[in-house]
């Protein structure tokens, strides 16, 4: 069976309607699309979001556009599946987010006055509590990666005024946590090291570093990922150079590898 595809839209509304029509066609006629459920799409959606993140860090604009389209498809897919059981549809989803944005921006759609973005964040968290949230931190997903979760926890706490006053105080806390972590490893006999305590102190140190990064407007997740990419690039240079000379990394000394590593750092 052949279905005539909907024509390209020249406005956002027409283009979005085109996507909805295609989604309907796929759900009714494609064997793979017909089998999908909310649960089966979940891990694929997570993968798409990470791919978008990669393209943003790479500043690859065409890829960002492509990945946004993939995520948009997933959002429409979820709404289509839910509509089949009369739980909700795409109109409910869109109106729901519009209503939430209007309600949480009283400085735009009401008579509330704000001075800066911090006022906006505080209002946002206070409105969420009025809407029924039992805790300011209740909206932080439990399954978030720990590094991202720490950032979100700190941002939300700051939104209600629970924060350091200046970055010098935060750095002092970093140094304090560094000393406490170091002290856990001062025992000469490794068997006497309490690794549970050391792990706890290391977690405290990371949390304080993430806090400091927030104060100086550094996204710790982005910073670490960029360092990961930098290390991968340099290590692969090292591997390629060793291969060009007919050497195996397992048979090279650290000093020999450092020569190529230093070359990679200059690229």
pTM of the complete model beyond 0.85: no
H helices present in 58-116, as ranges:
61-83, 90-103, 106-109
Which 3 state secondary structure label does DSSP give 166?
A: coil
Quote the CA–CA distance of 123 and 245 in Å, as a whole number. 62
Q: What is the pLDDT of residues 86-118, one digit of tens each?
A: 999 999 999 999 999 999 999 999 999 999 988
| Cα angle, residue 89 at apex, residues 40 and 42 outer, rounded to 5° | 20
- pLDDT tens profile 157-181: 888 888 999 999 999 999 999 999 8
What percent of the chain shows pLDDT beyond 90?
67
To which residue do tokens 């089949």 refer? 84
- Using CA atoms, how far residue 138 sits from 5, 142, 148, 241, in Å, is 44, 9, 15, 50
Half-sphere exposure of 260 (CA within 13 A, CB side): 21
CB 73 within 8 A of CB 19: yes
Give the number of other CB atoms < 10 A from CB of residue 256.
15
- Residue pLDDT, tens place only, 11-42: 999 999 999 999 999 999 999 999 999 999 99
Q: H-type helices in the chain, by residue range? A: 12-29, 31-35, 38-57, 61-83, 90-103, 106-109, 117-130, 146-159, 167-183, 195-215, 220-244, 254-265
Cα-flanking dihedrals φ and ψ of residue 229, to 5°?
Answer: -65, -40
- Structure token pair of residue 79: 């709404």
Residue with the two structure tokens 């956002």 = 12
pLDDT in tens, 124-144: 878 887 887 778 888 788 888
Nearest 5°: CA angle at 202, between 228 and 159?
Answer: 80
What are the CA-CA distances from residue 221 to residues 148, 165, 192, 215, 227 (Å)? 6, 23, 34, 14, 10
């Amino acid at each position: 069976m052949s279905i005539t595809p909907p024509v390209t839209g020249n406005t956002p509304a027409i283009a979005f309607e085109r996507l909805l029509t295609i989604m309907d066609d796929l759900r009714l006629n494609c064997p793979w699309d017909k089998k999908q459920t909310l649960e089966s799409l979940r891990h694929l959606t997570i993968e798409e979001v990470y791919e978008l993140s990669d393209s943003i860090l790479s500043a690859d604009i065409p890829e960002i556009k492509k990945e946004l389209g993939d995520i948009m498809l997933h959002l429409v897919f979820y709404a289509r599946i839910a509509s089949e059981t009369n739980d909700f549809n795409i109109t409910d989803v869109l109106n729901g987010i519009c209503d939430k944005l209007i309600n949480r921006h009283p400085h735009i759609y009401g008579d509330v006055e704000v001075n800066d973005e911090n006022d906006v964040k505080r209002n946002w968290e206070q409105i969420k509590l009025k809407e029924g949230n039992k805790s300011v931190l209740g909206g932080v997903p439990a399954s978030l990666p720990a590094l991202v979760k720490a950032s979100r926890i700190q941002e939300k706490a700051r939104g209600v005024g629970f924060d350091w006053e200046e970055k010098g105080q935060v750095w002092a806390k970093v140094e304090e946590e560094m000393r406490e972590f170091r002290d856990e490893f001062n025992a000469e006999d490794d068997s006497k090291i309490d690794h549970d305590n050391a792990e706890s102190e290391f977690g405290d140190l990371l949390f304080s570093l993430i806090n400091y990064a927030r104060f100086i407007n550094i996204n710790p997740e982005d910073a670490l990922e960029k360092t990961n990419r930098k290390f991968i690039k340099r290590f692969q240079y090292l591997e390629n150079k060793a291969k060009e000379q007919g050497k195996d990394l397992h048979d090279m000394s650290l000093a020999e590898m450092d020569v190529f590593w230093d070359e990679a750092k200059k690229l």
